[in-house]
Structure 1
Amino acid sequence: MSQLEFIAPDPNLCTEEEISQLVHTFYARARRDPSLGPIFEAHVVDWDAHFVQMINFWSMKLRGTSHFRGAPMPKHVALPGLNAQLFERWLQLFRQTTSEMGNPILQFNADMLAYHIGTRLWQRYQMERYPDREMVELSQM
Protein backbone atom coordinates (compact mmCIF):
# COMPACT_ATOMS: atom_id res chain seq x y z
CA MET A 1 0.00 0.00 0.00
CA SER A 2 1.34 3.43 -0.88
CA GLN A 3 1.97 6.11 1.73
CA LEU A 4 -1.02 8.41 2.24
CA GLU A 5 -0.43 12.10 1.70
CA PHE A 6 -2.21 15.09 3.12
CA ILE A 7 -4.30 16.59 0.30
CA ALA A 8 -7.12 18.47 2.01
CA PRO A 9 -8.95 20.49 0.95
CA ASP A 10 -9.93 18.56 -2.15
CA PRO A 11 -13.51 18.03 -3.41
CA ASN A 12 -12.54 14.49 -4.48
CA LEU A 13 -11.41 13.52 -0.99
CA CYS A 14 -14.93 12.63 0.17
CA THR A 15 -18.58 13.35 -0.36
CA GLU A 16 -20.86 15.68 1.56
CA GLU A 17 -22.71 12.57 2.71
CA GLU A 18 -19.49 11.20 4.24
CA ILE A 19 -18.94 14.49 6.06
CA SER A 20 -22.49 14.39 7.38
CA GLN A 21 -21.94 10.79 8.52
CA LEU A 22 -18.67 11.78 10.20
CA VAL A 23 -20.25 14.68 12.07
CA HIS A 24 -23.38 12.84 13.19
CA THR A 25 -21.53 9.66 14.23
CA PHE A 26 -18.81 11.57 16.06
CA TYR A 27 -21.24 13.76 18.00
CA ALA A 28 -23.43 10.76 18.89
CA ARG A 29 -20.31 9.24 20.48
CA ALA A 30 -19.18 12.49 22.11
CA ARG A 31 -22.62 13.10 23.62
CA ARG A 32 -22.59 9.63 25.22
CA ASP A 33 -19.03 10.01 26.50
CA PRO A 34 -18.88 10.48 30.30
CA SER A 35 -16.26 13.24 30.09
CA LEU A 36 -17.29 15.07 26.89
CA GLY A 37 -21.05 14.56 26.91
CA PRO A 38 -21.84 16.88 29.82
CA ILE A 39 -19.75 19.66 28.26
CA PHE A 40 -21.51 19.43 24.91
CA GLU A 41 -24.94 19.13 26.49
CA ALA A 42 -24.31 22.18 28.68
CA HIS A 43 -23.12 24.41 25.84
CA VAL A 44 -24.88 23.31 22.66
CA VAL A 45 -28.44 24.59 22.79
CA ASP A 46 -29.54 23.82 19.22
CA TRP A 47 -28.12 20.52 17.99
CA ASP A 48 -29.62 20.82 14.50
CA ALA A 49 -27.88 24.18 14.00
CA HIS A 50 -24.67 22.77 15.49
CA PHE A 51 -24.73 19.87 13.03
CA VAL A 52 -25.17 22.27 10.11
CA GLN A 53 -22.24 24.39 11.37
CA MET A 54 -19.99 21.35 11.88
CA ILE A 55 -20.86 19.82 8.51
CA ASN A 56 -20.08 23.16 6.86
CA PHE A 57 -16.84 23.45 8.86
CA TRP A 58 -15.58 19.99 7.92
CA SER A 59 -16.74 20.45 4.33
CA MET A 60 -14.62 23.61 4.16
CA LYS A 61 -11.61 21.90 5.75
CA LEU A 62 -11.82 18.66 3.76
CA ARG A 63 -13.47 19.59 0.46
CA GLY A 64 -12.70 23.31 0.17
CA THR A 65 -16.30 24.50 0.15
CA SER A 66 -17.17 27.98 1.37
CA HIS A 67 -20.33 27.30 3.37
CA PHE A 68 -18.84 27.77 6.84
CA ARG A 69 -19.24 31.07 8.63
CA GLY A 70 -18.05 31.31 12.18
CA ALA A 71 -15.23 31.79 14.65
CA PRO A 72 -14.62 28.57 16.60
CA MET A 73 -11.66 29.82 18.63
CA PRO A 74 -13.48 32.33 20.90
CA LYS A 75 -16.29 29.86 21.55
CA HIS A 76 -13.86 27.19 22.74
CA VAL A 77 -11.71 29.57 24.78
CA ALA A 78 -14.85 30.73 26.60
CA LEU A 79 -15.62 27.23 27.89
CA PRO A 80 -14.68 26.75 31.54
CA GLY A 81 -12.62 23.88 32.90
CA LEU A 82 -11.13 22.32 29.79
CA ASN A 83 -7.91 20.31 30.00
CA ALA A 84 -5.56 18.31 27.80
CA GLN A 85 -7.32 15.03 28.61
CA LEU A 86 -10.60 16.36 27.23
CA PHE A 87 -8.96 17.45 23.98
CA GLU A 88 -7.22 14.08 23.71
CA ARG A 89 -10.51 12.26 24.33
CA TRP A 90 -12.13 14.38 21.60
CA LEU A 91 -9.34 13.34 19.23
CA GLN A 92 -9.63 9.68 20.25
CA LEU A 93 -13.36 9.60 19.51
CA PHE A 94 -12.83 11.50 16.26
CA ARG A 95 -10.17 9.00 15.10
CA GLN A 96 -12.40 6.09 16.10
CA THR A 97 -15.17 7.55 13.96
CA THR A 98 -12.98 8.17 10.89
CA SER A 99 -11.44 4.69 11.16
CA GLU A 100 -14.88 3.10 10.75
CA MET A 101 -15.86 5.06 7.64
CA GLY A 102 -14.07 2.90 5.06
CA ASN A 103 -12.32 5.83 3.34
CA PRO A 104 -8.61 5.77 4.26
CA ILE A 105 -7.85 9.03 2.45
CA LEU A 106 -10.66 10.81 4.30
CA GLN A 107 -9.50 9.19 7.54
CA PHE A 108 -5.89 10.32 7.13
CA ASN A 109 -6.75 13.87 6.13
CA ALA A 110 -9.54 14.36 8.68
CA ASP A 111 -7.36 12.94 11.47
CA MET A 112 -4.46 15.21 10.54
CA LEU A 113 -6.74 18.24 10.46
CA ALA A 114 -8.44 17.31 13.73
CA TYR A 115 -5.09 16.95 15.48
CA HIS A 116 -3.91 20.31 14.12
CA ILE A 117 -7.20 22.01 15.09
CA GLY A 118 -7.29 20.40 18.52
CA THR A 119 -3.69 21.38 19.20
CA ARG A 120 -4.30 24.99 18.18
CA LEU A 121 -7.48 25.24 20.23
CA TRP A 122 -5.75 23.76 23.29
CA GLN A 123 -2.70 26.03 22.92
CA ARG A 124 -4.87 29.13 22.59
CA TYR A 125 -7.05 27.99 25.49
CA GLN A 126 -3.97 27.71 27.70
CA MET A 127 -2.60 31.08 26.60
CA GLU A 128 -5.91 32.80 27.39
CA ARG A 129 -6.87 30.90 30.55
CA TYR A 130 -3.50 30.05 32.11
CA PRO A 131 -0.95 32.60 30.87
CA ASP A 132 1.40 32.02 33.83
CA ARG A 133 1.48 28.23 33.52
CA GLU A 134 3.79 26.09 31.44
CA MET A 135 2.12 24.88 28.24
CA VAL A 136 0.91 21.28 28.22
CA GLU A 137 1.19 19.54 24.86
CA LEU A 138 -1.34 17.05 23.51
CA SER A 139 -0.16 13.50 22.89
CA GLN A 140 0.89 12.74 19.32
CA MET A 141 -1.50 10.89 17.03
Structure 2
Amino acid sequence: MSTQTTSLATLKAPGIAAGITELIIHDLVHAFYTRVRNDEVLGPLFEAKIEDWPSHLEKMCAFWSSITLMSGRYKGRPMVAHANIPGIDRAHFGRWLVLFRETANEICAPAAALLFADRAERIAQSLQIGIALHRSQNTPEEDGQVK
Protein backbone atom coordinates (compact mmCIF):
# COMPACT_ATOMS: atom_id res chain seq x y z
CA MET A 1 0.00 0.00 0.00
CA SER A 2 1.44 3.37 -0.97
CA THR A 3 1.90 6.25 1.46
CA GLN A 4 -0.89 8.17 -0.26
CA THR A 5 -3.27 5.20 -0.01
CA THR A 6 -2.34 4.70 3.64
CA SER A 7 -3.00 8.38 4.38
CA LEU A 8 -6.41 8.25 2.68
CA ALA A 9 -7.35 5.09 4.57
CA THR A 10 -6.28 6.68 7.86
CA LEU A 11 -8.37 9.78 7.18
CA LYS A 12 -11.41 7.67 6.41
CA ALA A 13 -10.83 5.21 9.27
CA PRO A 14 -9.19 6.91 12.25
CA GLY A 15 -8.86 3.62 14.09
CA ILE A 16 -6.26 2.36 11.65
CA ALA A 17 -3.70 4.96 12.75
CA ALA A 18 -4.55 4.27 16.40
CA GLY A 19 -3.90 0.55 15.95
CA ILE A 20 -7.52 -0.53 16.40
CA THR A 21 -8.42 -3.94 15.01
CA GLU A 22 -11.58 -6.04 15.00
CA LEU A 23 -10.04 -8.14 17.80
CA ILE A 24 -9.45 -5.07 19.96
CA ILE A 25 -13.03 -3.95 19.34
CA HIS A 26 -14.30 -7.40 20.32
CA ASP A 27 -12.24 -7.44 23.52
CA LEU A 28 -13.26 -3.89 24.46
CA VAL A 29 -16.97 -4.43 23.81
CA HIS A 30 -17.10 -7.72 25.72
CA ALA A 31 -15.11 -6.42 28.71
CA PHE A 32 -17.12 -3.20 28.81
CA TYR A 33 -20.51 -4.90 28.78
CA THR A 34 -19.39 -7.33 31.48
CA ARG A 35 -18.79 -4.25 33.62
CA VAL A 36 -22.11 -2.72 32.59
CA ARG A 37 -24.02 -5.85 33.53
CA ASN A 38 -22.34 -5.91 36.95
CA ASP A 39 -22.77 -2.19 37.59
CA GLU A 40 -25.44 -1.28 40.14
CA VAL A 41 -26.46 1.84 38.19
CA LEU A 42 -26.40 0.56 34.61
CA GLY A 43 -26.91 -3.17 35.10
CA PRO A 44 -30.64 -3.05 35.87
CA LEU A 45 -31.31 -0.62 33.00
CA PHE A 46 -29.55 -2.85 30.47
CA GLU A 47 -30.91 -6.12 31.84
CA ALA A 48 -34.47 -4.79 31.58
CA LYS A 49 -34.00 -3.88 27.91
CA ILE A 50 -31.65 -6.47 26.42
CA GLU A 51 -33.01 -9.99 25.99
CA ASP A 52 -30.33 -11.46 23.72
CA TRP A 53 -26.88 -10.51 24.98
CA PRO A 54 -24.85 -12.37 22.32
CA SER A 55 -26.78 -10.53 19.60
CA HIS A 56 -26.37 -7.19 21.39
CA LEU A 57 -22.61 -7.71 21.76
CA GLU A 58 -22.31 -8.60 18.08
CA LYS A 59 -24.25 -5.45 17.19
CA MET A 60 -22.02 -3.31 19.43
CA CYS A 61 -18.88 -4.78 17.84
CA ALA A 62 -20.31 -3.86 14.44
CA PHE A 63 -21.14 -0.37 15.74
CA TRP A 64 -17.62 0.32 17.01
CA SER A 65 -16.11 -1.21 13.87
CA SER A 66 -18.17 1.22 11.80
CA ILE A 67 -17.21 4.17 14.02
CA THR A 68 -13.47 3.53 14.21
CA LEU A 69 -12.64 1.44 11.14
CA MET A 70 -15.39 2.74 8.84
CA SER A 71 -16.32 -0.87 8.08
CA GLY A 72 -19.99 -0.15 7.44
CA ARG A 73 -20.95 -3.23 9.44
CA TYR A 74 -23.47 -1.49 11.72
CA LYS A 75 -26.99 -1.13 10.37
CA GLY A 76 -28.95 0.00 13.43
CA ARG A 77 -30.69 3.12 14.67
CA PRO A 78 -29.12 3.99 18.05
CA MET A 79 -31.11 7.18 18.60
CA VAL A 80 -34.44 5.37 18.39
CA ALA A 81 -33.21 2.52 20.58
CA HIS A 82 -32.01 4.88 23.33
CA ALA A 83 -34.93 7.30 23.15
CA ASN A 84 -37.26 4.41 23.92
CA ILE A 85 -35.55 3.50 27.20
CA PRO A 86 -37.71 4.87 30.02
CA GLY A 87 -35.76 6.63 32.73
CA ILE A 88 -32.45 6.94 30.89
CA ASP A 89 -30.85 10.24 31.85
CA ARG A 90 -27.57 12.16 32.04
CA ALA A 91 -26.42 10.23 35.09
CA HIS A 92 -26.65 6.99 33.12
CA PHE A 93 -24.61 8.45 30.28
CA GLY A 94 -22.05 9.79 32.75
CA ARG A 95 -21.65 6.39 34.36
CA TRP A 96 -21.51 4.72 30.93
CA LEU A 97 -18.66 7.05 29.93
CA VAL A 98 -16.70 6.38 33.13
CA LEU A 99 -16.92 2.61 32.65
CA PHE A 100 -16.15 2.89 28.94
CA ARG A 101 -13.05 5.05 29.50
CA GLU A 102 -11.77 2.72 32.24
CA THR A 103 -12.26 -0.32 30.04
CA ALA A 104 -10.68 1.31 26.99
CA ASN A 105 -7.66 2.38 29.05
CA GLU A 106 -7.20 -1.19 30.29
CA ILE A 107 -7.78 -2.99 26.97
CA CYS A 108 -6.26 -0.62 24.42
CA ALA A 109 -3.01 1.13 23.68
CA PRO A 110 -3.13 4.84 24.63
CA ALA A 111 -3.87 6.15 21.12
CA ALA A 112 -6.73 3.68 20.65
CA ALA A 113 -8.13 4.37 24.13
CA LEU A 114 -8.13 8.11 23.39
CA LEU A 115 -9.91 7.61 20.09
CA PHE A 116 -12.54 5.34 21.65
CA ALA A 117 -13.10 7.80 24.52
CA ASP A 118 -13.42 10.74 22.13
CA ARG A 119 -15.99 8.93 19.98
CA ALA A 120 -17.87 7.70 23.06
CA GLU A 121 -18.15 11.24 24.42
CA ARG A 122 -19.44 12.54 21.09
CA ILE A 123 -21.94 9.71 20.82
CA ALA A 124 -23.17 10.21 24.40
CA GLN A 125 -23.63 13.93 23.79
CA SER A 126 -25.51 13.32 20.55
CA LEU A 127 -27.76 10.69 22.13
CA GLN A 128 -28.55 12.95 25.08
CA ILE A 129 -29.52 15.79 22.77
CA GLY A 130 -31.65 13.48 20.64
CA ILE A 131 -33.38 11.98 23.66
CA ALA A 132 -34.09 15.42 25.10
CA LEU A 133 -35.57 16.56 21.80
CA HIS A 134 -37.55 13.33 21.52
CA ARG A 135 -38.94 13.92 25.00
CA SER A 136 -39.38 17.67 24.35
CA GLN A 137 -37.04 18.56 27.20
CA ASN A 138 -34.24 21.08 27.39
CA THR A 139 -31.13 19.88 25.61
CA PRO A 140 -27.90 19.54 27.63
CA GLU A 141 -26.67 22.78 25.99
CA GLU A 142 -29.76 24.65 27.14
CA ASP A 143 -29.23 23.39 30.68
CA GLY A 144 -25.54 24.40 30.58
CA GLN A 145 -24.50 20.73 30.95
CA VAL A 146 -22.45 20.34 27.76
CA LYS A 147 -19.01 21.85 27.76
Under TM normalisation by the shorter chain, which class is it?
0.7 to 0.9
In the other structure, the counterpart of 2:4 is none
Q: Tell me the TM-score normalized by structure 2.
A: 0.83
CA distance in 2, matches of 1:28, 1:138: 29
Between the two proteins, the alignment pairs up a number of residues equal to 134
Answer 1 or 2: higher relative contact order, Cα 8 Å, separation at least 6: 1
5 Å-filtered alignment, 1:77-116, equals: 77-116=83-122
In the other structure, the counterpart of 2:23 is 17
Q: Any unmatched runs of 5+ in structure 1?
A: 1-6
Q: Name the structure with the higher helix share.
A: 2
In the other structure, the counterpart of 2:51 is 45
Give the superposed CA RMSD. 2.0
In the other structure, the counterpart of 2:127 is 121
1:120 positional shift = 0.4
In the other structure, the counterpart of 1:65 is 71
Identity %: 35
CA distance in 1, matches of 2:118, 2:22: 19
Q: Secondary structure at the match of 1:115?
A: helix
CA contact (8 A) 1:14 1:63 kept: yes
1:9 positional shift = 3.2
Q: Any unmatched runs of 5+ in structure 2?
A: 1-10
1:69 positional shift = 1.0
CA contact (8 A) 1:11 1:64 kept: no
CA contact (8 A) 2:24 2:108 kept: no
1:138 positional shift = 5.0
Is the radius of gyration larger for structure 1 or structure 2? 2
Give the 3 Å change call, closer, same or farther, for CA 116–132 of structure 1 in structure 2.
closer
